[in-house]
Chain A
Amino acid sequence: MTLSTAILWSFVRCICVATLAIVPAAELTAWLRSTGSGKTGSGKSARIGLIAALLPFLVPELLLGYTWRLAAARLVDNQPATELLYGLILTIRAVAITVAVRLMMPASDLSEEALHSWKLLRPVTETGRWRWFRIRLKMNGPWRPILIAWSLAALVSFQEFETAALLQIDRHPIAWTVWLFDAHASRQPISDSLEMILRPVLIEFLLLTPVWVLLRGSTITSISSLECNRSPDSSFCQTAGTSGRTSNWLALAWLFLSLSVCLFWPLATNAAPLLRGIRAISDQWPFLRQSFEQILISLGFAAAATIVALRIAVWLHFRQTPALTMLLLMPGLCGSLMTSISLLSVFQLPVLNGLYDSWLPLLLGLALTLLPRAWLIAGLVLNSTSPLAVYSANLLDESPDAGVRQRSTVIRWKLQASRWFFAGLILSHWGFWDVTIASTLRPIQLEPVVTRLYNEMHYGRTEALTLITLMAAAAVPLSALMAAIFWRLWVTIVRFHA
């Protein structure tokens, strides 16, 4: 197997996965909007629907691979089936990512009415120039959220490593990331690896091109997805998908499939060990204390790396310097493996060696790895926030009336802070579960929980594994929930009584 073959497989797969995800994601998005998901005061069922739709994205790749590895073992006689299984897992994750992006993105910059008006202007014989403008209109209008979501889904699928490595038997599923891992295992010099990584990085830049083109210099929209949620029948929002009865069934069928793969099956196969684990380990205080400590360490690094990555990403968006952007995104696009090994070499230099066994290499590694995705998500957030609305909300904050100030805080949360909060949540989740960076760059004294989990997986300690997994998987959402509660308390108590 050559690197070119592995890259070709990964590229074709990521294109297929991101493209196949468009239709189910459109149906799911439409269904979620019809149930009012994301609206303030939306019902419990709407919130459950939203969580269910995004859940496949929140289940770590590592755990999905571990859960499905035995199924892959049973498919050993049928390589296309192994490829299909891997493709299905990637597609389910891609749909969740696409839904998340489409819910964050404005449905369209241009109304259907505007597009119809443009159609009426069609010359008797369609000219190439007219057709080109029509495509440009569509790309900046109804196609924009789709293309940006496609881009992110394709990038994430192309970079995937953990699931592929855990499922792989007889070199299927074929993935360039696994190939590169093997090349390092055979003690390849880092200079050779950097040369090899050029082709995959070029492909990743290619996959990011739609985002680059569509977000660069685009106008700030006044119609956001939240507004679509408030009036889903608006013609502005129709392009996001329709929600007829058939569509609802399709959306629900997809939800059932994705939850079966990412939740029901893993729970069914691990329920007994989990119960045994809780019984056996719940009274072992040192074990639990160690696990909590490791989870806290992982959370700390993931959150810090997220803040650093988002700050740099926002700065890059405002600065709009393509060369600098490309330079800073490059390490992340090379993947966790290359980033961690390169940083390890850099911190061996005499001038930096004093910092080698500190928190800095791990934080830097995670931040660099998250940066391309942070850049993409920051672009989305910046483009879906109206500065005029934020300015108006800020004016309310100057009011001498505490009630008005409190309402201003709530409005600003909805307009701006909530989007950054969710962006941070997504990025922290990625950072929390990155095993390659953590295992290579962590200081001796601090062990993130993900490396511990990997050990438990390898040694078949299913009871301990499932218990730590449960605690770790709940860590990021629970921390986010606690942060939200803290914010709420701050608004109601501190600001209201100020």
Chain B
Amino acid sequence: MTANAHLEQPARAAPGTPRNGSPQQFGRQAVTAVPMLWLLVFFALPFVFVMKISLAEADIAVPPYTALLTWVDNKILSIHIDLSKYLFLFEDSLYLAAYLGSLKIAAVSTIFCLFIAFPIALFIARQKPETRIFWLALVMLPFWTSMLLRVYAWIGILQSNGIINSVLLELGLIHEPLALLQTDFAVYLGIIYSYLPFMVLPLYATLEKLDETLIEASADLGARPTTSFLTVTLPLALPGVVAGCVMVFVPAVGEFVIPALMGGPDTLMIGRVLWDEFFSNRDWPMASAVAIVMLIVLVVPVMLLRSRGRHSLGHG
């Protein structure tokens, strides 16, 4: 049994649905209110402040931005809204290039992840139930370990005096070290490597529930393995494909660690731009504007799309 689609369980009446105004009703409201309030304060409310500060001007102060509302002579409330950050986002080609670059890198990496993860998920789903969990553990183990350290592991392999280059030099295949690290190639590799478990898990969750008799039926009716894969397995696994792609694509667009450690100076990714605006330039309003545009263009549409294909991380 897997944990897929549990969010869309038909709404069941709770045992002994209480009457309005009863102590039970009060208890239910209290139990609902705690996580609800927490999420409103620490998840939803912060976006209001991001929006607000994206409309402020940077200032040399603590905190480093101007107030939107100020009292002039204690009488008149004056409002300063500064849209220049947003205008600048569209004027300076750096930002547009960074957004597009992130989308491209994330999309290509997602497709690679899908191709690598699908056979693995299929392989695990076809194991006996007792051995499945070991294969799953093997694939999910990297997910439980620090992504930073896994990215770091690649540096020793890819750097100019790293393992790949020394082997190739030793074999005489190359005469000077290849530039592997600090390239776009390294960023693709890092993202595919780091996000692969996020693709395997949702795929496995749908494939595991797949009715194998349907595939046998298609084989009995004369379909070749490739045909039955394309016409039976793949369409039935589609919810897992969608969930996996979202799990990889959206965080990958905003990825910071991988481009920072493995990318070159010209690897433009928007997560890195946001980080630099914030930490290097200390331009909080600009960083906020970058975040707001990323949210509106990318995160919200994909999350709406995602509400169809639920997934779970409860296994592993």
Mutual binders A and B: no
Q: Which residues of B contact A (CB under 8 A)?
A: none
Q: Which residues of A contact B (CB under 8 A)?
A: none
